[in-house]
Amino acid sequence: MKRRDSLLRELQSSPRTFDVVVVGGGITGAGIAREAAGSGLKTLLVEQRDFAWGTSSRSSKMVHGGLRYLGSGQYRLTRDAVTERQRLMDEAPGLIEPLRFIMPHFQRQFPGPRLFQILLRVYDWISRTHSRQLLTPGEAMQWVPGLNTEKLTGASGFTDAVTDDARLVQRVITEARQDGAWCLNYVKAVKVLRAEGQVSGLELQAEDYAEAFIVNTPLIINATGVWADRLQQPDSDEKPMTIRPLRGSHLVLPWHKLPVSCSVSLFHPDDKRPVFAFPWAGTTVLGTTDLDHKESLDKEPRIAVEEVDYLLRISKRLFPRAAISRSDVLSTWAGVRPVVTADHSTAGPKAPSKESREHEFREDKGLISIAGGKLTTFRLIAREALTRGLGGEERLRQESGPVFRPTPRLLRPANISHQNWQRLVGFYGSDLCAVLQAGPTAAVSDDAASGSVPGELLWAEVIWACKHEDVRHLDDLMLRRTRLGLIAPEGGKALLPLVKQYCQSTLNWDDEQWRAEELRYLALWSEAYSLPGHPEPTHAV
């Protein structure tokens, strides 16, 4: 597969023609590129920042059927999601992994065990599984040591799934590229071009090129999430989508401080919406919030003080003996959901958690815009977008076509655990052999300089990302290709000398550029991935 710089030179040399151009490099855009290229369509995907930079690296990591959506009557959304959840787990074990969920029940607290078990019975029936379980208080404590026992009457258990959302995007993009898609990050869509009202092309601007350039296409699919209205024509006859940006924020804690092996959920007493504590990448994550995001969409979203307090209150309610405080927080992340809302001019806006998560389309003479939807159902959304844009399914591959190619059988190296091998197979698929050959297979956490870095990330993975996964900035590597910026203390600041040692020559950055990237990354981490009020760095390490 050609590298990004080579593809950009080809695009700038003369206008190229594509069957479809996808704008937006999150999970929806990646899924569209995968289905389009897999169907033999000449496909270009462009992302104005980094792949998965927006919501698709900042979600709650859940690949679930949406039990709460079933509770609010969104049956179709739940049915589609549980079907896709099972499909993804079957196709990519290690990337999409089953996770046990435990909902404690306390006296006189909604929902009670009887009502919740009825909901789980319907959930199991839809998914054609039997995962529900009613636990006694003693059994609940075995699943969740340290759980608050005051007025505890029992718990309900069921199974959903969890993933690394940014890695999921990368894996889907890799599959699209293997079928011929051109996928470029840091390329912005500037203007939709039209001939007699019909889409004819797109003007693009790459971050590292002074001049804009044009590609020809009869079909543009706008999968930019909360930015979807920016490509829409204000004077179009089509009714515009009204996007309500809703922020969801999370706290990342050391696993030893809150050691959970399953996802523990409770309805928050403030607004009666579910909040989770769940294991992820060797840490414990506490989230999420749900409130209107009123800041500029061009700035990195960040957690607010009131959201920190909101999450700490529920941690105290669930795990009083853990005594979680701000000083325990390793990092934070905040994502903005592109929720399509109705006109509430008379009744007033709904509470954020009451808004539908169903996706919607807007069609405008060759421009298909999408907003809303769930991580779990990205494949279905992708196929629907292409069906609308192409005028039917005739040009699409069979619906049964897999998202992920099977991974070739490889012998597990003796120094890699069975659990980590499963993760590697899921993360890299058919690239795994090449990944292991890219560098040392020692774990980053084994290095003395890494401090208390959890997880089993290999240095080979870090080097592979720099060689083959379009790392343009240090935050691409630290926050999305790997999660070192989220799971290591202070955003992995103590690790940066080692990262430089392994990666500087591969990235072809001189010392001046490396220092500039370190300063940029540490300032960004301080601004958007730490607790509010964290001091900004004054120099690189």
Tokens 């539908």 locate to 356
pLDDT reported for residue 271: 85
Are residues 219 and 19 in contact, defined by beta-carbon separation less than 8 angstroms?
yes
User: What's the 3-state SS for 196-237?
Assistant: CCEEEEEEEEECCCCCCEEEECCCEEECCHHHHHHCCCCCCC
Q: Which pLDDT tens digit goes with each residue over 97-109?
A: 999 999 999 998 8
Mean pLDDT computed over 151-166? 96
**pLDDT of amino acid 353:** 64
Q: Is the distance from CB of 103 to CB of 160 less than 8 angstroms?
A: no
pLDDT at 143 over 60: yes
| pLDDT classification of 354: cutoffs 50, 70, 90 | low
> What mean pLDDT is reported for the chain?
92
> Using alpha carbons only, what angle is made at residue 462 by residues 461 and 467, rounded to the nearest 5 degrees?
95
Token pair 């197979």 is found at: 425
Cα dist from 409 to 232, 406, 431, 437, 460, whole Å: 46, 9, 12, 16, 19
Q: What is the pLDDT of residue 470?
A: 97
Residue 268 CA: distances (Å) to CA of 14, 112, 137, 335: 56, 14, 20, 20
Task: Measure the CA–CA gap between 89 and 160, rounded to whole angstroms.
Answer: 10
pLDDT of residue 237: 63
Predicted local confidence at residue 110, as pLDDT: 80
Are 103 and 144 spatial neighbours (Cβ–Cβ below 8 Å)? Answer: no
Dihedral (CA of 380, 386, 389, 390) sign? negative
- For the whole prediction, is pTM greater than 0.85? yes
Q: Which one, of 67, 128, 56, 73, lies nearest residue 101 by Cα?
A: 67
**Higher-confidence position of 269 and 379:** 379
Instruction: Supply the pLDDT for residue 3.
Output: 86
Do residues 146 and 105 lie in contact, with contact meaning Cβ atoms separated by under 8 Å? no
Asked if residues 47 and 187 have their Cβ atoms less than 8 Å apart, the reply is yes
Query: For position 229, what pLDDT does the model report?
Result: 85
Q: Taking Cα atoms as reference points, which of 24, 12, 1 lies closest to residue 369?
A: 24
CB contact at 8 A, 135 and 143:
yes
Q: What number of helices (H) and strands (E) belong to the chain? A: 16, 20
Instruction: Answer whether residue 148 shows pLDDT above 60.
Output: yes
511-528 helix and 496-507 helix, angle to the nearest 10 degrees? 130
d(C-alpha 13, C-alpha 441), whole Å? 40
Q: How far apart are CA 59 and CA 29, in angstroms?
A: 16
% of residues, the chain, pLDDT over 90 = 79
Per-residue pLDDT at 266 exceeds 90 = no
Closest CA to 404 of 426, 387, 386: 426
Q: Taking 80 as the threshold, does the pLDDT of residue 238 lie above it?
A: no
pLDDT of residue 346: 46
Q: Token pair of 466, please?
A: 């720099």
Structure-block tokens of residue 92:
């990519």
Residue 476 contacts by C-beta under 8 Å, 6 or more apart in sequence? 50, 185, 470
